[in-house]
Amino acid sequence: MKFEISNIVFVILLAFLTGYLTFLTTKGKLTDSRNNKIWNQLTSRGRKVFFLLITITVTLILQEINSQNSDSNKDFIIKTERNFRDSIIAEGIKQGIDSSNTNLFKNLSKAFASQNLKIDTLQNTIKILRDSIKTAVINNYENDDPVLLIDTNGISLNDSLTNYFLIKISSHDAGSSNFEIKISSFILFADNSFTVKKSLDIFPRGLKIPQDYKWEAGFSIDSQKRVSKLYIYLFGKYSTVDGLKEIDINDLYLYNNETKETTIIINKLRDEIIEKLNKNYP
């Protein structure tokens, strides 16, 4: 930007110089013809008028230069603002295009994954993916897999008279659906006797569990005996909410009625309980 002075400064200065010029020209002689030289013919007042005229001329020139600088600065500001607006609009358009391309790629990845295809962005090719045992559903768009768990407080004895138990199953990391899970229970009573309850139906058809939400369901045991321990066995598979990926589940949980805590069993006891459950299947 160029140097600029407010135009009011020039207006005030010119008004003062013009007024002073008028005063000088009306109050006395400006020339003395007795001298031969032109400069010497000017009286002291005349010389003041001469320099005052030069000063007014220079002031007018400076005022014009200042006006040109002002116009140039205005043009610069307008151009800067226009470029700034254009850059904002261009960035907005770029972000919109990038977002659209990302969403398009996600949708294409899901569509190809459902047909057992994968987009190879490095080689610009589409690959057919198959497993020797079963068709693998592979999605190039990475998502966390849902993990079905019964938390430490996920099993509780709600009614000791009817031995009614409540189970809370959480879907961690992502939502889950399409539950094809068999649930059986091995119940150990305080007198060391036991019973088996098979094929518990706690997942209704069409159920979807959102991420980090819990599904609650209950069942009762046809016995008045006091329950000491309850083993819950989950076996089967479920999928992501979009149904593009299946996850196997094969977990055994223990509810201790003394401590009121639920734990997952991974030691030798797991094999023993599962073996008992299998033996008691019809």
Q: What is the pLDDT of residue 134?
A: 41
In the three-class reduction of DSSP (H, G, I as helix; E, B as strand; rest coil), residue 270 is classed as helix
Q: What percent of the chain has pLDDT over 90?
A: 12
C-alpha 207/C-alpha 60 separation (Å) is 87
Helix (H) or strand (E) run with residue 25 in it = helix 7-26
In the block, residue with structure tokens 């592979």? 138
**pLDDT, tens only, 16-62:** 888 877 877 777 777 766 766 666 667 777 777 788 888 888 888 88
Backbone angles phi, psi at 31, to 5 degrees: -135, 160
- Between CA 235 and CA 58 the distance in angstroms is 99
Query: What is the per-residue pLDDT for 179?
Result: 92
pTM higher than 0.75 for the full model?
no
Q: Which are the contacts of 176, defined by CB distance < 8 A and separation ≥ 6?
A: 146, 148, 208, 209, 238, 239, 240, 241, 247
3-state secondary structure of 266: coil
Please name the residue that has the structure tokens 């002291």: 44
